A = this chain, B = another copy of it.
Amino acid sequence: MSLRYALLQVLQASPMNGYRLARFFAGAQSWVWSAPQSQVYGALGKLREAGLVAGTPRPGENGLSTADYALTPAGEADLLAWLSTAHPEPPVRDAVALQALGFDTVPTGRAVAVLRAHIAEQEARLAEWTEHRAALLRRDTPLLRERLKGQPPAAHRRIAEVKAMVFEREIDLARAQISWAHRMIALLEGLEPAPAGAPGDAGAAVASTAPPERLA
């Protein structure tokens, strides 16, 4: 359901064909929603059937014709209604937390390695969000440039600042996860290791990855 409104928002900023839209969502590492190509084509087809977007044919590559899709008045109204209404939040499905719940059964060194990979991933995202937020405030992302073209100059500041604030959310969430992972590492390294016989104690070969001074 959210993908439909992700598509409508992108097409509202910049009409594009299915190929470019699918590429946007497949490569949307620093955007707030990503989707595989097949889902994007499927959702675009449904939007067209529902009359929420309409294509303007134009010559494509290799002599084939293509169509750039833009919102119809019905599509604009549907998007505005969705944006203006509170929706139930999705149920919690936190894969990192799910894995960490079992760290009491894992040799400390292995758990710490998993947490360090999590920190690296979140730091990479944090760098991307930070750059994307700065680009929005400079009014200098491809999508924002397209969107601003159709808007009166008096509206530009509001548009750029609201969108930049959304990426502040992603920055905050990445920072919270990095901070938490460091605290989890400190906790694991400060606790007594799992005693022999506990789940996860797979014998000396595995136990030897725990810090030796904690075996006492």
Interfacial residues, chain A to chain B (CB-CB below 8 A): 2, 5-6, 9, 12, 28-29, 31-34, 76, 79-80, 82-87, 89-107, 110-111, 113-114, 117-118, 121, 125, 151-152, 154-155, 157-159, 161-163, 165-166, 168-170, 172-173, 175-177, 179-180, 183-184, 187-188, 191-195, 197-200, 202
Let me know if A170 and B200 touch, CB within 8 A: no
- Which residue from B99, B161, B192 sits with its C-beta under 8 Å from A187? B161
Q: CA of A136 to CA of B196 in the docked complex: distance in angstroms?
A: 23
In the A-B complex, list the 10 residue pairs whose CB atoms are closest, starting with the nearest.
A86-B117, A32-B97, A84-B110, A104-B162, A83-B102, A34-B91, A104-B159, A172-B176, A169-B180, A176-B176
Q: Is B110 in contact with A157, judged by CB distance below 8 angstroms?
A: no
Rounded to whole angstroms, the CA-CA distance of A99 and B6 in the bound complex is 8
The one of B29, B84, B95 that contacts A2, using a Cβ cutoff of 8 Å: B95
Give the complex CA separation of A199 and B12 in angstroms: 9
Q: Is the CB of A100 within 8 A of B6?
A: no
From the candidates B9, B101, B183, B191, name the one contacting A9 in the complex (CB within 8 A).
Answer: B101
Q: How many copies does the complex hold?
A: 2
**Which B residues lie within 8 Å of A154 (CB)?**
192, 195
By beta carbon, the residue of chain B nearest A175 is B176
Complex Cα spacing A177 to B87, Å = 16
Given A169-B177, A173-B176, A191 contacting B158 (CB threshold 8 A):
yes
A163 and B101 in contact, given A158-B192, A192-B158 (Cβ under 8 angstroms):
yes
Chain B residue at minimal CB-CB distance from A83: B102
Known: A101-B166, A169-B177. A95 touches B87 (CB 8 A): yes
Contact A100 B165 (CB under 8 A): yes
For A85, the chain B residues whose CB sits under 8 A away are 110, 114
